[in-house]
Homo-oligomer: A and B are copies of this chain.
């Protein structure tokens, strides 16, 4: 049974499902239309200039998705393309930037300044812990990160907006005294709430037809983002027989059962890097800024250069 057959509405989001079948390969168009409705709560993997799921992002843009609620820690090109293309209504994020190239995430910045998107700020570790809490099925994780700062004090979404939306926790975060006294040399913690995205998009090096996925090199928070989500779309450089990946199960971070769609998408992270397959493309990333300044309305012009859909 395909996971899609079990989809039903849940508080306005998509109900979590699980799929133990062994054949989940589909094309990108099908995967995105099935699992990413308008208004979905979405998270995307990767970090700044590395392993952003760009093929899937461009497909979201082609399908003119709107009203997305985006969760990101430090995401660069993927976030900027989605925001710049008008797909995103709200975003919870720690950092928008690509590194030394187009470090300003210009379309994200512009959208925030013009209030075209609502933004709420966290730190990288807070976002990581929030995905981890979602993956672990607990409502929050404790940390000392950002105590005393405006990250704690200033909320991006109002209390009223939170309370009227069952897909948002009622509090941005909660500061609490340590109930174990000063255990772990900690007097106070901030509890950051779990994120449960409707869908997480990842680009990985290798995936099996059953959804088993292998990331090579830095994993960032991809594993936590996938395990936190109700649905997972994995795009991959190499589509493999599951048995090949299963012969070394300790190298696979993503078990097949949490994956809904596997898409073969060579160069699917381009223009960001995919370790052992290709580096980021500095020329593309350098061109992005002036091209956007000249032709802000044409986000689809660029991706054609690489994977030509």
Contacts and interface: CB of A to CB of B under 8 A. Distances in A.
A102 interface: no
A297 interface: no
Contact of A184 (B133, B179, B180): B133
A194 interface: yes
Contact of A139 (B139, B180, B194): B180
Interface stretch (A62-70, A169-177, A239-247, A281-289): A169-177
Given A169-B183, A184-B194, A178 B139 contact: yes
Q: How many copies does the complex hold?
A: 2
Nearest to A196: B184
Interface stretch (A85-93, A140-148, A153-161, A256-264): A140-148
A133 to B, nearest CB: 7
Contacts of A183: 139-140, 169-170, 193-194
Closest 7 CB pairs of A and B: A139-B184, A139-B183, A169-B183, A174-B179, A169-B180, A139-B186, A184-B194
Nearest to A133: B184
A176 B139 CA distance: 12
A296 interface: no
Nearest to A250: B217
Contact of A180 (B140, B143, B250): B140
Nearest to A218: B250
A181 interface: yes
